Chain A
């Protein structure tokens, strides 16, 4: 089954404790991205990657890092989480840069930073 998976689905942590949210897709997609979703704001892109070893900032990259060492995985790293990073995070992928390709979203990771 074609899908985007994220782990963990739920996470409670404390300020400053480094964490990683994993994202994996089995569709051989080149393009992957991370979003956060907050009430009243809609989805905002954090980082995206057009291919292996190619990453770039989205609209809200501050406080986040990503890596793309292999095509299927695109982890999101919070080196020193802060309460304002409490949010619902979605990973997404699509075949390439063509805007008309369907973007597939993962199930989401709900993060609470105390």
Chain B
């Protein structure tokens, strides 16, 4: 299957800064995307999702942007806090047929106080 990848394996930011984590996908048929947060020693936790009929979706302090033209997805975290330190990864899937998501490798976000 086609892959989903991340541009930056590690991102270091200062507390209070905004963080941007990027993800590239290669399957143009993908129509559903999810961002997960994984803290050390824990399972992935859903953050936010977006369907391909949207280009932006906002949650609490997080925004996901989808650019279908260049097959690019980003997660923006506003006013990053030390508790945001974790690995973030995106996943993509398609509405039709069985649902076998494809996950990216992950970006480690380190927030310095």
B100 CB contact (under 8 Å) in A4, A45, A104, A106: A45
Interface: A105 (CB within 8 A):
yes
Residues 36 to 85 of chain A near chain B (Cβ within 8 Å): 40-45, 48, 56, 58-59
Contact yes or no, A48 B100, CB < 8 A = yes
Interface residues of B, dominant DSSP: loop
Q: A41–B105 contact, CB under 8 A?
A: yes
The reply to whether B49 and A42 contact each other, CB–CB distance below 8 Å, is no
* Chain B residues positioned under 8 Å from A106 (CB to CB): 43
Known contacts A42-B89, A43-B44, A97 near B1 by CB under 8 Å? no
B43 touches A58 (CB 8 A): no
| Cα A97 to Cα B94 with chains together (Å) | 12
> Within the complex, what minimum Cβ distance (angstroms) separates A72 from chain B?
17
Partner-A contacts on B (CB < 8 A)? 1, 4, 32, 34, 41-46, 49, 51, 89, 91, 93, 95, 98-101, 103-106
Q: Which residues on A are within 8 Å of B, measured CB to CB? A: 4, 40-45, 48, 56, 58-59, 90, 92, 97, 99-100, 102-108
